[in-house]
Chains A and B, each alone.
Chain A
Amino acid sequence: MNHIFRKVLLLHTVYVNMFLSFCFVSGTAAMNERQYRDMPTHGIGRWRHLLLKQAPKKKKDRNQQKELVSATDTAYGTLNVTVSGYDMTVVEHYSQYIHNFCNRLNIKVADSYALPTKSTEVLLMQEQGNKTYVDAVLKTHQRVIQLSSLNASLCPVFMDVILKNQPEGVQLSVQEHTEADYQARFKARPELEGLVAQINQIHVPNKTS
């Protein structure tokens, strides 16, 4: 008789446990989530389930072209501030200075990139002979800061400050950003252009016939 009562008691406690666990599970937890602790405050610090789902970032998105902002009555459109010079540390520091300055003035910086370095060979004539010999190789470094829009009233102040802080040996240039500027950054693909030319050549006789 006792063992029957014990079994019934055991079963009863199991059922009660299950019932209790169903009661204490909060509305957002899944049924198959493991209740590691039986405390009613279990999971009280959870916050990641409250964030919005972010689409996973693809590698391709990084190098897409940012939209060109067009100029309005009171603001300039997308502007390119190009800093170029022979001394790389000075050029980089100056471009960093301009970037920080824009952040401080709440000017939106769309992009900040470097254009490829151009090497210039300086050839000098020899004193005795007619041959030229390589004297020096000068490398021109370029850094571009792209501003998405610049308020017309802020423009004189901005230009004044960056001009007064321009270091020696550094050229500064402020221009509008165009599609051609963006395309110029890509490397030319000679094989592709050759194939395209071939396709055009094949197609043209067909059209005329």
Chain B
Amino acid sequence: MAAPCRKMASRSYSQLLCCFSRTAVGSGACRRFSVTPIDRATPRASTAADRATSPWSLMAAVCLQRLPVITADCSPIEQRFKQMLQQMELEKSMLSDHELRLMEDAERMSRRQADDYDSDEDLGDQEIMMTQDLEDTWEQRLKNFQPAPRVRADVDEDLTSVQRCLTDSLVLLAEQQVGAEKLWLLPQAAWQEGETLRRTAERALDSMTAGVRATFLGNAPCGVYKYKLPKAARTESSVGVKVFFFKAILVDGTPGSAPTAPLLWLKKSELQKYLKPAYMMNVGRFILNL
């Protein structure tokens, strides 16, 4: 990775050095990440006179995603196409070094077995391992290797587990108290004076789940949802709430210590059952179903 470089200070702006690596499924179900933020400028505290008082209160929410760990299975037509392409590639390709050596060895064996064999023809140095033996040892080692199962039905059913549905990306939902009722929402927190919205989103994530490490993808929010308070609760200074969403990627698979609120990891298709329709419409626009 390149060493962090010095940058000129810029207002409320931070640069990321991200290194994402995707390797075979190990003990954790997540990719190994490393992030080094270079420049974290402190946000300017705006004086009370600057801000126009608005009746909307601000909140920031985090859309924490666990990326897919393994590739999805191919559909039947994709499988057939893949087979056809592999066949074509095999037929068009040239022989590799290993295959050439196999052919040479076979030729030498047949020459040795021939009746009019002249031992002087043979080269001075005999190889210890024939190429075919090498291939056999490799095949043996491959048979001994047991890959982890791709799909485990019991883990898939458990909605709170991070390791479910390794082929899809999952979103974190938390049950929160909003007004009088408990709703399933993306974890959110109210904005406080003197902090950036992204900082608020980080705080929301920390308060809902302790010890989960996440990388935020940028300072800009990816979506906004505003709702008005019910008529009974509306006052002069608070008409409604605007919620800004920030995207983040899960780095560490461990959920940490017991979370304060019940958490769920859901695919986009399952979100509909838990979110309110208007909220779902807004949130569904920036959650990608790739």
Contact = CB atoms under 8 A, between A and B. Distances in A.
B289 to A, nearest CB: 9
Contacts of A160: 65, 217, 247, 249, 288
- Main DSSP-derived SS at the A contact region: mixed
A157 interface: yes
B24 interface: yes
Contacts of A172: 19-22
A185 to B, nearest CB: 13
Given A71-B13, A171-B20, A176 B2 contact: yes
B22 A168 contact: yes
Contacts of B7: 70-71, 176
Nearest to B287: A160
Given A70-B8, A71-B7, A164-B169, A174 B16 contact: yes
Given A163-B20, A164-B68, A73 B217 contact: no
Interface in A157-175: 157, 159-161, 163-175
A180 B249 contact: no
B5 A176 contact: yes
Nearest to B69: A168
A181 interface: yes
Interface in B264-290: 288, 290
B22 A167 contact: yes
A178 B290 contact: no
Given A71-B13, A160-B288, A168-B71, A173 B20 contact: yes
Interface of B: 1-3, 5, 7-8, 10-11, 13, 15-24, 38, 65, 67-68, 70-71, 169, 217-220, 222, 246-247, 249, 288, 290
Given A156-B247, A164-B288, A171-B19, 16 more contacts: A70-B7, A70-B8, A71-B13, A153-B218, A153-B220, A156-B246, A160-B217, A161-B290, A163-B67, A166-B22, A167-B71, A173-B18, A176-B7, A176-B17, A178-B2, A178-B5
